[in-house]
Chain A
Amino acid sequence: MNIFPPILILAAAFLAVFGEATFTLPRQLLGAQVDLLPGLMVYAALYAELPAVALLAVLGGLWFDTFSANPLGLTILPLFAVGFPIYLRRDLLLRDAPFAQLVLGAVASALAPALALLLLLSSRQQPLLGWGTLWQWAVMTIGGGLAAPGLFWLLGRCDRAFGYPLRQETSFRPDREIQRGRNKL
Chain B
Amino acid sequence: MFKQKNYFVLGAVVFVAIVLLSLPANATARLKRVAGSWFLPLFGLASAAQQLPADLADSVLPRRELLQQVDQLRRENQQLTSQAVQAAAIARENDQLRTLFGWQKTVPWRLRLAQVIARDPANWWRTVQIDKGTRDGVRENLPVLTSTGSLIGRVSSVSYTKSQVVLLGDANVGGPSCRVSATVENTARDMGVIIAGDPLDHARVTLTYLASSANLKPGQSVVTSGLGGIFPAGIPIGQIVDSRPVEYGLYTEARVKLNANLGSLEQVWVLFPDK
Contacts and interface: CB of A to CB of B under 8 A. Distances in A.
Contact of A50 (B6, B177, B199): B6
Contact of B169 (A15, A27, A69, A128): A128
Q: Is the interface of A mostly helix, strand, loop or mixed?
A: helix
B124 A129 contact: yes
A54 B12 contact: yes
Nearest to B265: A24
Measured as residues with beta carbon below 8 angstroms from the partner, the interface class of chain A is: 35 or more
A18 B169 CA distance: 24
A62 B72 CA distance: 49
Interface in B134-175: 156, 164, 166, 169-175
Contacts of A140: 123
Interface string B6-49: 10011011101111110100001001100110110010001000
13 contacts: A20-B121, A21-B118, A21-B121, A53-B9, A58-B13, A68-B122, A69-B120, A69-B127, A73-B19, A88-B6, A123-B21, A132-B198, A136-B123
Interface of B: 1-2, 5-6, 9-10, 12-14, 16-21, 23, 28, 31-32, 35-36, 38-39, 42, 46, 117-127, 129, 156, 164, 166, 169-177, 196-201, 263-264
Interface of A: 14-15, 17-18, 20-22, 24, 27-28, 31-33, 35, 50-51, 53-54, 57-58, 61-74, 76-77, 80, 84, 88, 113, 116-117, 120, 123-130, 132-133, 135-136, 140
